[in-house]
Structure 1
């Protein structure tokens, strides 16, 4: 029996990954957390397929032992702004495959530095595997493959309320507002202000036309690397209800920079926002919408290929993205030694296969 270790498995995202794996594989799943009380509840409710291990990532020896006893490690213990690559390094040293739900360029950059070591160890390490980044990146690859030459990628993300996620995801949002970032525009790197240049995008129902803003995501730089012909990559994000967008804009552009770069400020804003979404979730739901638009040349003409996805629960959609990669690794259908963002590691036929198995429908259209 294959053994999977999910670090941070008691968070909303980690729990969704565990649920997906329990549904689609026979793997023995061990989830970790720092509270033994939670572990008792997990053991009672899982029917034996999911076990609980009390573990703090700072317990290096205990972490190393848990990794050595696993066939696959899934890192869900965010926010990844603060994370080092110790888990990934340990997996490479132990020869254990690795998947994560990382969503910040600082961590992605550090992880990609271990490409050669992972390849030499025969370890497949796939990063950025949730919903965005994750499923969204594979939607882009699917679009790129429709063209003779792709030129532009425009990704738009929309989350209702909390998205069914915990405070950690709120932290990720506010941490993403701290600094300007580089984006690949017109064939060169240009500095962009976070939560700027609002743009109205047509999402699938029930969302319709909604505002999105520039947001710093790892795919801003992994996609140009994966698809060298592309001259522009745009990543924009928005919230439902729309007043959250205006509040986030104020946070990004009006609050003093020194204040936004204090950890205590991020904690305060994250907890207040999570409290607010607990109220609005009742009216908006906790769903997610992703829209990918790829522009390129096909048969000598310029065209746009659009891919749209809607899911009623953002955290569950993220679990599907990560769980599907894990399933393919466990089944031996995906093997690519090295460290890769998901768009470089996952072939489109396998992406379509796992999405179909999970009942996730991606709608396509040409403009």
Structure 2
């Protein structure tokens, strides 16, 4: 079994120049990088929308990888494998069965866990199996409780000498790295001490990402929102606190609402920002009204019950799918950082298709782990032991391929569709 030596190494890649008017990022040539060549990557939930998108992105970014599509549906798995080519195969895996998991992880260099939803999961079965079999790990968890369970296994991962990253998808994930880079740049440029960090997310409909995203959204409506205000932890009602945020080119202004997302806590604790919050909004606009109504009309204990939520998903899914066809699946993230000397900086990431960009983003993290960016232990994306500071730029370049708008470290007025008027040389 060809295990990789996971140590913090210099960046091992070459950049191939490509520029065009659609703001495509540079493509990255990984053909001759022996550290990851022929590595075996198991994607759990590989027959789902997120897992399948991740597999396709990995096959394009690094064709020499051997991809194992893990799932329960062989028909769907074989269909995906036919698209991926000869360097791939389907593996039948039940993630609830420890023996099945450990058998699947045999002779695997990295396991990518995309089999959500992660809300209300009682334990981190896949991470525990990865530690037991000494296999590198990453997940696309979007749940605070699950991410903290994963972090509680940190010492075991260190003892097993395996690297693991939790919450490593698009949001949370790429958004965490964007936040970390904004904070680093602000401190390097003496913009004052970072005071407030705000994550703003928008997705048209479900983003074409399938019923799992719908289930995740409903489950989050059953959770109190944790935010931080001047260092104090506060709890708020989900889908309240509406803000109208300008996501810039290709997206424009959108209404967004408070949700309980793990990057709020991790950014507060790791980046040391006293005020942090996260909001999300969707389209058409009446979906937002419906989400807000659910928090008032449906008891929170129902929204926290995965079985009952699945019944709601089965009920609403056909209608959602139909409207998704009209709404499209544009996705946008905006990260705002305000500093103590009244200076602000912004990062924006927008793509026409969430179903594509989520796979590209997850693949970017997978390659970073394989290339040795991650130290042994369980890390959040913004921790330098998770994604080394010198490797963040490459990760963001990979993740942002195909975006319609990707900017970092800009003043808000430079990226908004309706910047504030300039009066006597001052923006107000």
TM-score, normalised by the number of residues in structure 1: 0.94
Structure 2 residue aligned with 1:201: 245
Give the Cα–Cα distance (whole angstroms) in 1 for the partners of residues 119 and 318 of structure 2: 23
The yes-or-no answer on 1:277 pairing with 2:331 is no
* 1:120 CA drift (Å): 2.2
CA shift in 2, pair 1:262/1:44, >3 Å: closer
The yes-or-no answer on 1:107 pairing with 2:146 is yes
Structure 1 residue aligned with 2:329: 286
* 1:2 CA drift (Å): 0.8
Give the Cα–Cα distance (whole angstroms) in 1 for the partners of residues 324 and 347 of structure 2: 26
The DSSP-based 3-state class of the residue aligned with 2:137 is strand
1:241-268 deviation line (CA, Å, top 9, x unaligned): 1110000000012323344344454123
Structure 2 residue aligned with 1:182: 226
Does the CA-based 8 Å contact 1:99-1:322 persist in structure 2?
no
For residue 68 of structure 2, the aligned residue among 25, 30, 42 is 30
The yes-or-no answer on 1:354 pairing with 2:399 is no
Structure 2 residue aligned with 1:257: 300
Does the CA-based 8 Å contact 1:131-1:314 persist in structure 2?
no
The DSSP-based 3-state class of the residue aligned with 1:19 is helix
Structure 1 residue aligned with 2:277: 234
Give the Cα–Cα distance (whole angstroms) in 1 for the partners of residues 274 and 216 of structure 2: 27
79-88 or 216-225, which deviates more: 79-88
* 1:352 CA drift (Å): 2.2
For residue 14 of structure 1, the aligned residue among 37, 51, 60 is 51
Does the CA-based 8 Å contact 1:154-1:233 persist in structure 2?
yes
CA shift in 2, pair 1:150/1:167, >3 Å: same
In structure 1, the gaps of 5 or more residues are none
* 1:349 CA drift (Å): 4.1
Q: 1:116-265, aligned counterparts within 5 Å?
A: 116-148=155-187, 149-228=193-272, 230-265=273-308
The yes-or-no answer on 1:304 pairing with 2:344 is yes
The yes-or-no answer on 1:343 pairing with 2:348 is no
Higher alpha-carbon Rg: 2
* 1:302 CA drift (Å): 2.0
Does the CA-based 8 Å contact 1:204-1:289 persist in structure 2?
no
In structure 2, the gaps of 5 or more residues are 1-37, 188-192, 413-428
For residue 51 of structure 1, the aligned residue among 78, 89, 98 is 89
* Count of paired positions: 362
Does the CA-based 8 Å contact 1:102-1:129 persist in structure 2?
yes
Structure 2 residue aligned with 1:74: 112
* 1:328 CA drift (Å): 1.8
